[in-house]
Amino acid sequence: DAGITQSPRHKVTETGTPVTLRCHQTENHRYMYWYRQDPGHGLRLIHYSYGVKDTDKGEVSDGYSVSRSKTEDFLLTLESATSSQTSVYFCAISALRDSNQPQHFGDGTRLSIL
Amino acid sequence: GESVGLHLPTLSVQEGDNSIINCAYSNSASDYFIWYKQESGKGPQFIIDIRSNMDKRQGQRVTVLLNKTVKHLSLQIAATQPGDSAVYFCAEGRGFQKLVFGTGTRLLVSP
């Protein structure tokens, strides 16, 4: 298994509170991604990073921010959580820029916003 | 096949049967395709991938077939085992590392 650790694995919080999810990798891969997974939808890209301090938006980035101060850590922040952000969040990593490389995923964070 | 609703399509097979899971992709410009397996409570696990310059690729007990004419991808699992029970979904790659994922098919394997 790829060395990807997501924390926390489960979190319940209230609307309006800030939430930060962490993804930690031990593979020294350059590219990291945050996805959300919801019933009826495939995985949807929130943000991704192509290097330390280099990030870009995905298709569902509204309400989320990210930071990557070290190669191994990629943080996803919900500044003011809303119920629509209740989801399972997955981090993924990949080694190369070439699109012909698989992404490898962590085991997810289940986030419930009440 | 892929689901567009809340309920995943389900394929039920007996242990030892061959399974075929289908996926229709959307973009004729996609040049890279991946199959993932996802077990309950876990993240997607890479199974096999294929580039658009190929129409077949084999792995251990798995084969992926690509038909670009009809934009169709299939995953064949030989001698299906109970441990193969999971949700399987395909992803298509277009552009820099941006994968587009299908919603998946649930495979149920009975002993």
What CATH number does residue A83 fall under? Answer: 2.60.40.10
- Provide the domain count of chain A: 1
Q: What range defines the domain where residue B104 resides?
A: 10-110
Q: Is residue B85 part of a domain?
A: yes
- Provide the domain count of chain B: 1
Q: What tokens does B20 get?
A: 């075929």
- CB–CB contact A41 B103 (8 Å): yes
pLDDT value at B17 more than 60: yes
pLDDT value at B2 more than 50: no
Q: Which of A1-10, A96-105, B44-53 has the lowest mean pLDDT?
A: A96-105
A-B Cβ pairs (cutoff 8 Å, strict): 63
pLDDT confidence band for B4 (50 / 70 / 90): very low
Mark out chain A residues that contact chain B at CB-CB < 8 A: 4, 31, 33, 39-45, 48, 58, 90, 94, 97, 99-108
Closest Cα in chain A, distance from residue B17 (Å):
27
Closest Cα in chain A, distance from residue B110 (Å):
25
- CB–CB contact B91 A42 (8 Å): yes
The domain spanning residue B79 has which CATH number?
Answer: 2.60.40.10
pLDDT value at B18 more than 90: yes
pLDDT confidence band for B97 (50 / 70 / 90): low
pLDDT for residue B95: 64
pLDDT value at B27 more than 50: yes
**Tens digit of each residue's pLDDT (9 = 90 or more) over B48-93:** 999 999 999 999 999 999 999 999 999 999 999 999 999 999 999 8
- Alpha-carbon distance of A103 to A81, in angstroms, equals 27
Q: Give the residue among B104, B107, B1 at the shortest CA–CA distance from B44.
A: B104
Q: What range defines the domain where residue A26 resides?
A: 4-113
CB contact at 8 A, A106 and A24: no
Side-chain-side CA neighbours of A28 within 13 Å: the count stands at 0
